[in-house]
Structure 1
Amino acid sequence: MDANRMLAAISKVSEETEFYTPMPAGYKPGKTKYVVVVGTVMSGLGKGIFSSSLAKCLQDKGLTVAPIKLEGYLNVDSGTLNPYRHGEVFVLNDGMECDMDLGTYERMLDQNLSRLNFATSGQIFTRVLEKERQGSYLGRDVQMIPHVTGEVKSKLRELAVSTDADVVFVEIGGTVGDVENEYYFEACRELAFEEGPGSACFVALTYVLEPPTLGEQKSKAAQLGIKRLLATGIQPHIIAVRGHRPVTRKVREKIALYSNVPLERVVSMHDQESVYVLPEMLREAGLDAAVVDILDLHARVSTEAEEKARATWNDYVTRYREAGRPVTIGITGKYTSVRDSYASVIQALEHAGTHCDARVRIEWIDTTEITADNVAKALERMDGVIVPGGFGVRGAEGKIVCVRHVRENRIPYLGL
């Protein structure tokens, strides 16, 4: 922006206000609703899987949904992150390198996402500093509230406009209480306040511990995590309780008591054999109906569309469960100790196996330990081998040895 344009913009402003609520062109307050998914106790609870599954349930009802992941780190994108620390880098159609959860959203919702669906603190702060240099804040001292939080709200509303979404699903990365994501929680609290009652639904994922030495589920960490969320000014409408086994009614009652959430909206989200059974699991728990009630979306729901979509989805789940032909696929790489490093590869194998009536078993092979002397033994039981990419030279020689062995011995091979 040149000096003349900047001065012209400033000259039209005569009043000062404490509110900073930028509205994108075409935004209609009240049209788009928001579902905000947050985590407590610890990271890695599967917020992306849960959020995408719940979004799938609403999409099946004929609603237009749009997901966005908000990351707290200062990187502008995920392209330079070590897979050991943050899982795989998922690349969108427009080249945006982002978090692996965006891959989950694309697979669940059958959507091609873009940079509009992903934000980091690096991106948000860059936009704020650019506006400050352009004089867009009209001489105000630029602060976390309202300017940085205002930029987050603007990002969410821009997504709503560009996708014409009925519901925007907002996933906040990390855990409540993390310093780097506190302003995201504040921004979403402000968004719910500005949009008005019935505009936002807050869903908290928490975790119930089950120490083997005790033999029972303990909810104290979950209670304290929810209490920390309440301290941000956010009252959750729904709580999904993660655990290895189904969460008992007694534990759910304790969490409901501490969180002011009705018992029927405190649900067990225990481990399942596949992420693709979760949408039906959420329906059985009544969470899709709860969101429709909270956001008053009844008039936009199509029962006919839902029945058709559920039938198609459940057909896939049935074929997955009934697949019987065993197939062993070796994945050779150097990040094999962290399965999230190859999340999309794992999901692609599950999809292909289901389509081909095969039960795929994955063997993880660390190429930093593979040599010409032991490669034959390492790959002797494989029906096929995948060699994914990686950064740097560590493990590269082992990959080359694997590729040579499978090509010379005519073992089906896919290089990525």
Structure 2
Amino acid sequence: MKYILVTGGVISGIGKGIIASSIGTILKSCGLRVTAIKIDPYINIDAGTFSPYEHGEVFVLNDGGEVDLDLGNYERFLDINLYKDNNITTGKIYHHVIKKERRGDYLGKTVQVVPHITDAIQEWVMNQSKVPVDGNREEPQICVIELGGTIGDIEGMPFVEAFRQFQFKAKRENFYNIHVSLVPQPSATGEQKTKPTQNSIRALRGLGLSPDLIVCRSSTPIEMAVKEKISMFCHVKPEQVMCIHDVSSTYRVPVLLEQQGIVQHFKERLDLPVGDSSSGLLLRWGNMADRYEKLQKTCSIALVGKYTKLRDCYASVFKALEHSALAVNHRLNLMYIDSIDLEQDTKAQDPVRFHEAWQKLCTADGVLVPGGFGLRGTLGKMQAISWARTKKIPFLGVCLGMQLAVIEFARNCLDMEDANSTEFEPSTPVPLVIDMPEHNPGELGGTMRLGLRRTVFKTQNSVLRKLYGDVPFIEERHRHRYEIIPILLVSSSTLSFLPGR
């Protein structure tokens, strides 16, 4: 097993996830089996209870794991299915160690960060790196590990120490460290500054890890003189300094890394059984990136949501729409609309914002209302749904968006003025959306319907079945606490329930 550790410096959110995914893509294109692990140093057990503004969206895996959105990047780039244990948090590690201490596994010893926490981290990584993640069920050959946060964060210290020890346990030819750092370019001078990267590498070395590759992130391509300066002051060869500037599409990143000779570098440093260049997989990847940048036609989609201030809150929705647009040779223009801005209260308080939001909605080719929790902003979502229905604009409701579409139709087309969800009104007389059996109101973490579930089509002439390709069943990932009531009879003005569920 070869281990590639990706660390970051200067700032968080620098693009370590895309770099790690791109590294995995390049290695997979060389014919190697690749898996990935994301380490998040927060004390939460998982990402399930986070506000979307904390770390972006919560990504759901087949096994029901609620994890960091970077695992979504890994799955999309590498075409693999990961598990909840591929996301390690400080909370998981401490919970694991404390349970062992309570069982008496440490034989009365004083349980400490070193060696017990650091040993648990290493053991977790070694065990999870062997778990098959593709359809062939073969053990991976390469494990790409992304350490969240930045070097120097107090939360990440136990993990850095664990990998300082681990590099000797795994041996040099099996352990590789990539450090991703920012090279800022102040607008006042326009000069690319290397000092933050120098300080970041110095901090990394002070903690016992030496980078084998430095990936410099910048807004524009890095000049050769800057690259040579980083090489000299960070004690690496010039070919060990690679540069990834801001590009129009993240699909360009693997191509840029491959063009800078990363395959040859991996081959020599890790003694990989591969050729000097990648296979046709990366060539097709490059063709896709080229096609993306040459798209002429545009498709505008209005995303009406509650968490529109941070783009990462709807990362998977954006990627799904982007892939769909690319498949039909269109460039996606995704317009984020805060659902509250569509409500009448906003019109009274801030008419400019209200009219700007409605202008966006009216110019869209399609409307998508994604999931969310709570009552806030639902009125604006309902108004967007009603507008799309009456104007016959293509519409897709996901999770809460679908539930609100059913309520909107019941209220405005079936004269069910009291139709509602038990999430918003527990005692509603017409509960079209109800709590699911898995929902535990007393707890939040992991109490929803989570993970891969099978849906069987019971009729041949189902519109939905035809949309899915006329298959007998589909399997999709779920993350929700409420559902459309399974068995109901609807007439023009009454709602009655059949016995049983």
TM-score by length of 1: 0.89
Query: 1:333 corresponds to which residue?
Result: 305
Residue by residue over 1:31-66, the C-alpha shift from the partner in whole angstroms, topping out at 9 and shown as x without a partner, is x01000000001001101000101110011111111
Post-superposition offset of 1:197: 2.0
Report the more deviating stretch, 47-56 or 333-342: 333-342
How much has 1:254 moved relative to structure 2? 2.2
Distance 2:131 2:299 in 1: 43
1:354-392 Cα offsets, whole Å, 9 max, x none, are: 110111111111112112675653411100111111222
Whether contact under 8 Å (1:66, 1:159) holds in the other structure is no
| 1:349 matched to 2:331 | no
Determine the structure 1 residue equivalent to 2:371.
Answer: 389
Q: Match of 1:217? A: 192
Cα deviation code 1:227-261 (max 9, x no counterpart): 11111100000000001001122222222222211
Of Structure 1 and Structure 2, which has the larger fraction of its residues in helix? 1
Secondary structure in 2 matching 1:411: coil
Aligned length: 382
Contact kept, 8 Å, 1:61 with 1:303, in 2: the verdict is no
Alpha-carbon contact 1:325-1:357 (below 8 Å) kept: yes
Between 313-322 and 286-295, the greater mean CA deviation after superposition: 313-322
- Does the 8 Å CA contact 2:182/2:218 hold for their aligned counterparts? yes
Any conservation in 1 of the 2:59–2:67 contact (CA below 8 Å)? yes
Q: Which runs of 5+ in 1 are unaligned?
A: 1-31
CA distance in 1, matches of 2:381, 2:396: 12
5+ residue gaps, structure 2, are 133-138, 348-354, 399-501
1:178 aligns with 2:178: no
SS in 2 for 1:213: coil
CA distance in 1, matches of 2:36, 2:331: 31
Instruction: Find the counterpart in structure 2 of residue 10 from structure 1.
Output: none
CA shift at 1:347, angstroms?
Answer: 1.1
Q: Which residue of 2 aligns with 1:50?
A: 19
Q: What are the residue-to-residue correspondences of 1:94-113 with 2, within 5 Å?
A: 94-113=63-82
Partner of 2:298, secondary structure, is: strand
Instruction: Describe how 1:8-157 pairs up with structure 2 within 5 A.
Output: 32-157=1-126
Measured after TM superposition, the shift of residue 195 of structure 1 is 1.5
Q: Does structure 1 retain, via aligned residues, the 8 Å contact 2:21–2:77?
A: yes
Please show how residues 180-219 of structure 1 align to structure 2 within 5 Å: 180-219=155-194
1:267-309 CA distance string (max 9 Å, x none): 1111111111111111001123212221111x2x2679x4231
For the 8 Å contact 2:5–2:145, the answer to whether it is kept is yes
Kept in 1, the 8 Å contact 2:264–2:276? The answer is no
- How far does residue 317 in structure 1 lie from its aligned partner after superposition? 2.2
Q: In structure 2, what is the equivalent of residue 24 of structure 1?
A: none
Letter in 2 for 1:340: D
Question: Residue 407 of structure 1 aligns to which amino acid in structure 2?
Answer: R
Q: Is the 8 A contact 2:175 2:270 kept in 1?
A: yes
Structure 1 residues 303 and 252 mapped into 2: Cα distance closer, same or farther (>3 Å)? Answer: closer
| Cα distance in 2, alignment partners of residues 382 and 197 from structure 1 | 54
* Percentage identity across paired residues of the two chains: 39
Note the alpha carbon deviations across 1:79-102, whole angstroms, 9 max, x for none: 111111211100000000000000
Within-5 A mapping of 1:196-275:
196-275=171-250
Question: Which residue matches 2:330?
Answer: 358
SS of the residue corresponding to residue 119 of structure 1 reads strand
Q: Which residue of 2 aligns with 1:291?
A: 266
> RMSD over aligned Cα, in angstroms?
1.5
Q: Which structure ranks higher in relative contact order (CA pairs < 8 Å, sequence separation ≥ 6)?
A: 1
Partner of 1:161: helix, strand, or coil?
coil
* TM-score of the superposed pair, with normalisation by structure 2: 0.74
Deviation at 1:130, TM superposition (A): 0.7
Shift of 1:143: 0.9
Point out the structure with max Rg over C-alpha: 2
Matched residue SS, 1:344: helix
Contact 2:302 2:367 in 1 (8 A): yes
Distance 1:349 1:178 in 2: 35
